[in-house]
Structure 1
Amino acid sequence: MFRIPTVTKNLLIINVLAFLAMKLLLPVTGVDLNDLFGLHFFMASNFQVYQLVTYMFMHGGWEHIILNMFMLWMFGAVVEQVWGGKKFLFYYIFCGVGAGVMQEIAQFFWVYFMLDGQQALSLGDSIGVMHQLSTQLNGLTTVGASGGIYALLLAFGMMFPDEKMFIIPIPIPIKAKWMVLGSIAIEFFSALSMPGSNVAHLAHLGGMIFGYFLIRYWRNHPGQSYRPGNTQFFSNLKAKWDARSQQHSHNEHSGNPDWDYNANKRANQEEVDRILDKIRKSGYDSLSHEEKQKLFDQSKK
């Protein structure tokens, strides 16, 4: 199993510590950290702009944080190793904020249609009513890292679309691209059928939408920001292959009969070296699907 990269590891630690602090402080002091750092509806009296960032580090319960942290570990570790820490963190925060913005918009229209159903109101009049109900609207609070994590799922699917994965309870492996499309469909129809649900389906979709357009922007402007921000992962991979090459070369000169095996290893190393050189010259997105798959397979060894 590969080592958890630095940013992903720190995000896991921060989320867990914030959750434990929330659980410990609430019964002892009565202070609800989810109320302070969760994302309130922007017409509510407790809304603060900083909550667009802090809400993604807060969680509502054990099931919520365990599932989110598992997905952050599973997809975040791979995406960070490919992109590098700085670019990965920017993408994660950017998409998390975008998910929060989408949730705010969704909540505004949900409240508007609820008020309009009771008494016909114009959009301007409804804003005045919401202002009067600002204290009651504090109950509309969003917490969780799901927006950023769904964006990581999208990034993984776009980088490794044909990578097969097992999803419980489905007994057969599913390609990443179909898993992404399935997730989009589920969240979209869930948002339509359950507009008042406690699950922020539109925030999940919002994270993926912001992630998609950011990745598309990076791909269309490779000279600006789409080159990997950290080549340490690729350098380590090359060093590992160099070390293996020296070991196999020594075995050959010692009369090792497995010449074909060693020859295949040498050819494999040369192919990896060529891919790494291509990344340094032209960026990760210049790789073909087969080259990306080979790097992904080697990152797991």
Structure 2
Amino acid sequence: MGFYDRDYYREWRPSSHWLGGNQVVPWLAMVHVGVYVLQLVTAGRAWHGTFTDMLMLDVQRVKEGEVWRIVTALFIHDLHNWLNVVWNVLILWFFGRQMEEIYGGRKFLLLYLTAGVLGNLAWVVVKWLWLLAPARVYFGAAPAITFVLTLCTLHYPRQTVLLFFVLPVPLWLITLLYVGKDAVLLLQQLGGLGRPSAVLVHLTGAAFALAYYFAPGWHWRFGDWKWFRKAPVRAATSYRSQWDEHLEAQADAILDKLNREGKDALTPQEWDILHRASEAYRRRR
């Protein structure tokens, strides 16, 4: 398997830019926690308070033009369920960092936000058309978090997770139970049973992860920010003829070491080789 065919290929050189290094997940975690603290500080005696009310997803207000709620609802949580914030941040921290390692900060952020927006749009459509009877308003990071968990499971299904920090369980089983529960609840709602909930939002995140992982062609191009750029004129000389086979062999060996021993085992020289290989690969695309 060549360097550029590997599932875990990414931009290798460390970067001080928060979108270039592995810094997006910590920032997202801080944003989620920080916004929750602001919700607590600004909460009134009646329900959630003005700050939360301004950001939550309310279909009627979206109809009136407040479309930003489709995005902002992703970053607020139910004040009466602090465990939901803890759960979401833990999933983001442990599994989101692995996905950022694979896709890079910029692409991971775009995927995370896209999953959240798609989930919220699904809720808006369902509520608007009265296809189901979901809750009156919605907020939370569930679609994006479910996307992260599902995508990580697709990459590393046999990864062992300590459930409740004690019980070792394969990741695929945790995700199956997590997503399966929502699927059962959705079926109950379709049958007129169960209380109104937003499980469709969660399942939209899982569906997006499946579509992204298995979609041919745009798997790696999604998030490259090149959709609206004019395609450059390619030189007649094939990029493949410029590919240094020795460099590729070196990169393959280093990636094997990375897979076995982790990124901390690599030397600065090995990181430099990976960077040069990634630059050569990018020129070939």
Q: Could you say which TM-score interval applies, normalised by the shorter chain?
A: 0.5 to 0.7
Q: Which residue pairs with 2:267 in the alignment?
A: 242
Q: Which residue pairs with 1:167 in the alignment?
A: 163
Q: 1:196 and 1:223, CA in 2 relative to 1: closer, same or farther beyond 3 A?
A: closer
Offset of residue 183 of structure 1? 2.4
Render the CA deviation track for 1:236-277: whole Å, top value 9, x for unaligned. Answer: 96674237x9xxxxxxxxxxxxxxxxxxxxxxx9xx999999
The TM-score, its normalising length taken from structure 2, stands at 0.64
Offset of residue 150 of structure 1? 0.4
Question: Which of the pair has more CA radius of gyration?
Answer: 1
Q: Paired residue for 2:182, among 183, 187, 207?
A: 187
8 Å CA contact 2:126, 2:132 repeated in 1: no
Alignment of 1:50 with 2:48, yes or no, is no
Offset of residue 98 of structure 1? 0.7
Q: Which residue pairs with 1:23 in the alignment?
A: 40
Offset of residue 202 of structure 1? 0.8
Q: Distance in 2 between matches of 1:198 and 1:169?
A: 32
Q: Distance in 1 between matches of 2:278 and 2:175?
A: 26
Offset of residue 144 of structure 1? 0.6
Q: 1:35 and 1:197, CA in 2 relative to 1: closer, same or farther beyond 3 A?
A: farther
Q: 1:47 and 1:59, CA in 2 relative to 1: closer, same or farther beyond 3 A?
A: farther
- Which runs of structure 2 are paired with 1:276-295 in the superposition (5 Å)? none
Paired-residue identity, %: 19
Q: Distance in 2 between matches of 1:240 and 1:100?
A: 41
8 Å CA contact 1:41, 1:47 repeated in 2: no
Q: Which residue pairs with 2:206 in the alignment?
A: 208
Q: 1:93 and 1:196, CA in 2 relative to 1: closer, same or farther beyond 3 A?
A: farther
Q: Which residue pairs with 1:148 in the alignment?
A: 144
Alignment of 1:38 with 2:56, yes or no, is yes
Render the CA deviation track for 1:87-130: whole Å, top value 9, x for unaligned. Answer: 00000000000111122233345x4667xxxxxxxxxxxxxxxx
Offset of residue 212 of structure 1? 2.0
8 Å CA contact 2:76, 2:140 repeated in 1: yes
Offset of residue 193 of structure 1? 2.4
Q: Distance in 2 between matches of 1:148 and 1:222?
A: 18
8 Å CA contact 1:91, 1:211 repeated in 2: no
Q: Which residue pairs with 1:254 in the alignment?
A: none
Q: Paired residue for 1:10, among 18, 27, 38?
A: 27
CA RMSD of aligned residues (A): 3.9
Q: Which residue pairs with 1:221 in the alignment?
A: 218
- Which runs of structure 2 are paired with 1:113-132 in the superposition (5 Å)? none
- The alignment of Structure 1 onto Structure 2 pairs a total of residues equal to 222
Q: Which residue pairs with 2:235 in the alignment?
A: none
Which AA in structure 2 matches 1:63?
Answer: L
Q: Which residue pairs with 1:158 in the alignment?
A: 154
Q: 1:31 and 1:180, CA in 2 relative to 1: closer, same or farther beyond 3 A?
A: closer
Structure 1: runs of 5 or more not aligned: 115-136, 228-233, 246-268, 284-301
Q: 1:185 and 1:273, CA in 2 relative to 1: closer, same or farther beyond 3 A?
A: farther
Q: 1:28 and 1:170, CA in 2 relative to 1: closer, same or farther beyond 3 A?
A: closer
8 Å CA contact 1:75, 1:152 repeated in 2: yes
Q: Distance in 2 between matches of 1:17 and 1:40?
A: 22
Q: 1:107 and 1:28, CA in 2 relative to 1: closer, same or farther beyond 3 A?
A: closer
Offset of residue 27 of structure 1? 2.9
Q: Distance in 2 between matches of 1:280 and 1:226?
A: 18
Q: Which has the higher helix share?
A: 1
Which AA in structure 2 matches 1:160?
Answer: Y
The TM-score, its normalising length taken from structure 1, stands at 0.61
Which AA in structure 2 matches 1:96?
Answer: G
Q: Distance in 1 between matches of 2:85 and 2:279?
A: 37
Q: 1:275 and 1:160, CA in 2 relative to 1: closer, same or farther beyond 3 A?
A: farther
- Could you say what secondary structure the match of 2:27 adopts? helix
Q: 1:157 and 1:26, CA in 2 relative to 1: closer, same or farther beyond 3 A?
A: same
Q: Which moved more, 1:146-155 or 1:189-198?
A: 189-198
Q: 1:142 and 1:94, CA in 2 relative to 1: closer, same or farther beyond 3 A?
A: same
